[in-house]
A = this chain, B = another copy of it.
Amino acid sequence: MANTTSIWGWGEADRFPEAEHRSAMGQWASALLGFSTGAPREPVPAEALELRPSRVSPPTALQSLCSTTVRDRAAHSYGKAYPDLVRGFRGEYPHPPDVVARPESEEDVAALLDWCGESGLALVPFGGGTSVVGGVEPPSDHGGVVTVDLKGLDRVLEVDPISRAARIQGGALGPVLNAQLAEHDFELRCFPQSYRYSTLGGWIVTRAGGHYATVRTHVDDLVESVRMVTPQGVWESRRLPGSGAGPSPDRMILGSEGTLGIVTEAWMRVVRPPRFRASATVFYSTWEQAVAGLRAVSQAGLAPTNCRLLDATEARINAVSADPKATLILGFESDDHELGPWIRRAVQLAVAAGGVCPKGARTRDAKGGGGGAASSWRDAFFEGPYLRDVLVSLGTIVDTFETACTWDRFPELDAAVRSAVQDALNRVCGGGTVSCRVTHVYPDGLAPYYTFLGPGREGAELEQWAEVKQAASDALLAAGGTITHHHAVGRMHRDHYAEQQPGPFGHALRAVKQAIDPAGTLNPGVLIPPSHGEQV
């Protein structure tokens, strides 16, 4: 698969359409978005890339794991954020890793960590490389960087069918681990949009948002225990379904973004594939009614698997309704029982808030597999990033960001964010669109997810994007939100993250970093500000 993976863009390289096709897509997008996308451009081809020579020579014992090819180093220079795509498209790779190492075992991981620690090299853990926050980008000012690509650690090692848990290596991609679990009739139901190209270890250290819109909203809740290689030895928690003994050790790993160690294995909570499903779509004339309906469902204790609200713009773009209206998509799933009472009550509540649920907008089926609307929706969801690559090639600025806030604050936050982003788009792009969906809900609040698009000026896209992104992040923080609900901090959100932290907690986090990784080997500059105030 490595040979067909795009260096700069999403997924498989051959999924990037020819110019003619992209041009047609641009016309369609222009009509939809209300501004003209540009003429299709071509990415700098792999064979034209020139990188700074590697500054690092691996020791003999590790050479067989290490690559210094241009392709490998370029493909491990960035994640998949908008500025990553633009820089990759342009062939700009000023700070590639010096070495890309591919361990095949936990011993290899420990040996690589030892080597980097002893040699003063930075080690960047790399799962699928789908970070949208600069989480896998080498530091720009470091003397030597080794990126450790963990996808060789891809096995399901053990399945405990009694406790419904499986021991899985950290480098396994979503489909790779689920194919192995399927042999035991189990499934890890964690499907971030990056699912096909991201790894279990990556999900854990970034607190990835998964499949469930309620209750188990993050991978956090699916983790039973974690095994992590650190400079202070192996950090492995007991397999426990729950515990009250001191602060949770796993919760210190969740969100640590490769700054404390490398997750080599985890025991994960798995489930039988769903046998029953029920879903419904409810339409609203106003956003306020839609949010009220969403809240009513969220506070009823019904725990839908899917509880996704699209505003009218998102509904139009996603073509879920011809007459674009705010649209609430509800879904339940179970391997145990029929879901009629659950979906009926959820629809009742959603309709009582002013929604309309047409007859054809309800489905219930008692078979598994996930055919029908849910399946097409999921396919489209996973295809989304490919469309983004096309828009980048058309010079369009396109990005998303998400947050969370309590219900009482949402109207104000939503208005402030839309207004800040629209103003910035008008200012730097001469226009553009902002839209919102809600991806996860809680009894006490919700996680809105915003998309913005605007016309870029060739060569100035990164500066334009940065100004809009800054406006968005500032607005989120000012309105009481979090800088991220499920896309991590990385380098991109580090300053806003520091701002939203309880002050003494920042001390505590730096103390943990110093205790576990005193040499500062692991992912320097990500999550935690570098010590001594240097720029990384």
Q: With A and B bound together, what is the CA distance between A207 and B251 in angstroms?
A: 14
Q: Closest CB of chain B to A508's CB: distance in Å?
A: 4
Q: Could you say which residues of chain B place their CB within 8 Å of the CB of A349? A: 336
Query: CB of A512 within 8 A of chain B?
Result: yes
Query: CB of A431 within 8 A of chain B?
Result: no
Q: Could you say which residues of chain B place their CB within 8 Å of the CB of A208? A: 244
Q: Closest CB of chain B to A296's CB: distance in Å?
A: 9
Q: Closest CB of chain B to A268's CB: distance in Å?
A: 9
A273-304 CB mask vs B (1 if < 8 Å, else 0) is 00000000000000000000001000111110
User: Among A49-57, A170-178, A400-408, which stretch is in contact with chain B?
Assistant: A400-408
Q: Closest CB of chain B to A310's CB: distance in Å?
A: 20
Q: Closest CB of chain B to A159's CB: distance in Å?
A: 11
Q: Could you say which residues of chain B place their CB within 8 Å of the CB of A165? A: 406, 444
Query: CB of A440 within 8 A of chain B?
Result: yes
Complex contact B251–A162 (CB within 8 A): no
Given A233-B503, A236-B502, A241-B444, are A408 and B162 also a contact pair (CB < 8 Å)?
Answer: yes
CB-nearest residue of chain B relative to A299?
B164
A228-265 CB mask vs B (1 if < 8 Å, else 0) is 00101111111111111111110111111100110000
Contacting residue for A488 out of B244, B336, B445, CB 8 A: B244
Q: Closest CB of chain B to A174's CB: distance in Å?
A: 18
A423-449 CB mask vs B (1 if < 8 Å, else 0) is 000000000000000001011111100
Contacting residue for A511 out of B271, B487, B493, B514, CB 8 A: B514
Query: CB of A376 within 8 A of chain B?
Result: no
A73-107 CB mask vs B (1 if < 8 Å, else 0) is 00000000000000000000000000000000000
Complex contact A404–B248 (CB within 8 A): no
Q: Could you say which residues of chain B place their CB within 8 Å of the CB of A207? A: 244
Q: Could you say which residues of chain B place their CB within 8 Å of the CB of A330? A: none
Q: Could you say which residues of chain B place their CB within 8 Å of the CB of A164? A: 299, 407, 443-444
Given A252-B252, A505-B252, are A245 and B408 also a contact pair (CB < 8 Å)?
Answer: no
Q: Could you say which residues of chain B place their CB within 8 Å of the CB of A218? A: 242, 244
Complex contact B516–A404 (CB within 8 A): no
Q: Could you say which residues of chain B place their CB within 8 Å of the CB of A255? A: 244-248
Q: With A and B bound together, what is the CA distance between A245 and B502 in angstroms?
A: 12
Contacting residue for A245 out of B217, B249, B493, B503, CB 8 A: B493
User: Among A12-20, A62-70, A377-385, A476-484, which stretch is in contact with chain B?
Assistant: A476-484
Query: CB of A114 within 8 A of chain B?
Result: no
Q: With A and B bound together, what is the CA distance between A504 and B235 in angstroms?
A: 6
Chain A interface: which size bin?
A: 35 or more
Q: With A and B bound together, what is the CA distance between A510 and B207 in angstroms?
A: 24
Q: With A and B bound together, what is the CA distance between A251 and B505 in angstroms?
A: 11
Q: Closest CB of chain B to A117's CB: distance in Å?
A: 14
Complex contact B501–A249 (CB within 8 A): yes
Q: With A and B bound together, what is the CA distance between A500 and B269 in angstroms?
A: 21
Given A242-B217, A248-B251, are A232 and B503 also a contact pair (CB < 8 Å)?
Answer: yes
Q: Could you say which residues of chain B place their CB within 8 Å of the CB of A21? A: none
Q: Closest CB of chain B to A274's CB: distance in Å?
A: 10
Given A163-B406, A233-B503, A240-B406, are A254 and B245 also a contact pair (CB < 8 Å)?
Answer: no
Query: CB of A527 within 8 A of chain B?
Result: yes
Contacting residue for A224 out of B300, B444, B493, B508, CB 8 A: B444
Known: A242-B447, A242-B485. 13 other contacts (CB 8 A): A162-B295, A163-B408, A238-B482, A239-B480, A241-B447, A246-B255, A246-B509, A246-B527, A271-B443, A300-B334, A301-B337, A341-B341, A507-B515
Q: Could you pull out 28 A-B pairs where Cβ atoms are within 8 angstroms?
A: A162-B406, A163-B445, A230-B504, A235-B504, A240-B405, A241-B406, A241-B443, A241-B444, A242-B447, A245-B482, A245-B483, A245-B489, A245-B493, A245-B497, A246-B256, A246-B501, A248-B251, A249-B502, A251-B252, A252-B505, A261-B504, A269-B443, A299-B336, A300-B337, A301-B335, A303-B303, A340-B341, A508-B516
